[in-house]
Amino acid sequence: MSDTAAKPRPQFRNIGIAQLASYRLPLAGKLSILHRVSGALLFLCLPLVILPLFAASVAAPQTFAAVAAYAGNPIVKLVFLVLVWGYLHHFCAGIRYLLLDLHIGIDKLSAKKSAGVVFGVSLALTLVFALKLFGAL
């Protein structure tokens, strides 16, 4: 007699809050989450931070001087640096997703490598902007 009995299929359930700390997300998954976070950051900061500062800086020479003095504060520079990181990360990850849409680098190893490249490039560019922003370059 052959063993034709159906084996029970594995059941995958959603993880709970207590399991979140021990769950190991792949690099591409972390990249995807940060891509969404950076997009939301840019979307929310555009009308709240970027456009008002731009409008004030082009209104008159006095308001430009006020914005320049405001932007000299180290805390404001950190906020700007976070916005720069958000833009650079979103841009680099967006290029990766465009390549994935063209079916380039879909296999698991290539996806892991491209996620690492996106993290490396976006963080390296952010470091260059940080050095320039804080006057080291």
Please indicate, yes or no, if residue 18 is contained in any of the structural domains: no
Higher-confidence residue of 60 and 9: namely 60
What CA–CA distance (Å, rounded) separates 8 from 37?
Answer: 39
Q: What tens digit of pLDDT does each residue of 78-133 get?
A: 999 999 999 999 999 999 999 999 999 999 999 999 999 999 999 999 999 999 99
What's the whole-model pTM score? 0.81
Please indicate, yes or no, if residue 45 is contained in any of the structural domains: yes
Note the Cα 87 to chain centre separation in Å: 7
Q: What tens digit of pLDDT does each residue of 35-49 get?
A: 999 999 999 999 988
Model confidence at 25: pLDDT above 80: yes
Q: What secondary structure does DSSP assign to 81-118, as a single string?
A: HHHHHHHHHHHHHHHHHHHHHTTSS-SHHHHHHHHHHH
Domain of residue 80: give its range.
25-134
Neighbours of 88 (CB within 10 A): 20
Instruction: Give the residue ranges of the annotated binding site for heme.
Output: 90
Please indicate, yes or no, if residue 12 is contained in any of the structural domains: no
Instruction: Give the residue ranges of the annotated binding site.
Output: 90
Using a 10 angstrom Cβ sphere, with 0-12 exposed, 13-18 middle and 19 or more buried, the burial of residue 114 is buried
Note the Cα 62 to chain centre separation in Å: 35
Please indicate, yes or no, if residue 9 is contained in any of the structural domains: no
Percent over 70 (pLDDT), the chain: 97
Please indicate, yes or no, if residue 117 is contained in any of the structural domains: yes
Please indicate, yes or no, if residue 65 is contained in any of the structural domains: yes
Q: Which tokens go with 137?
A: 């370059």
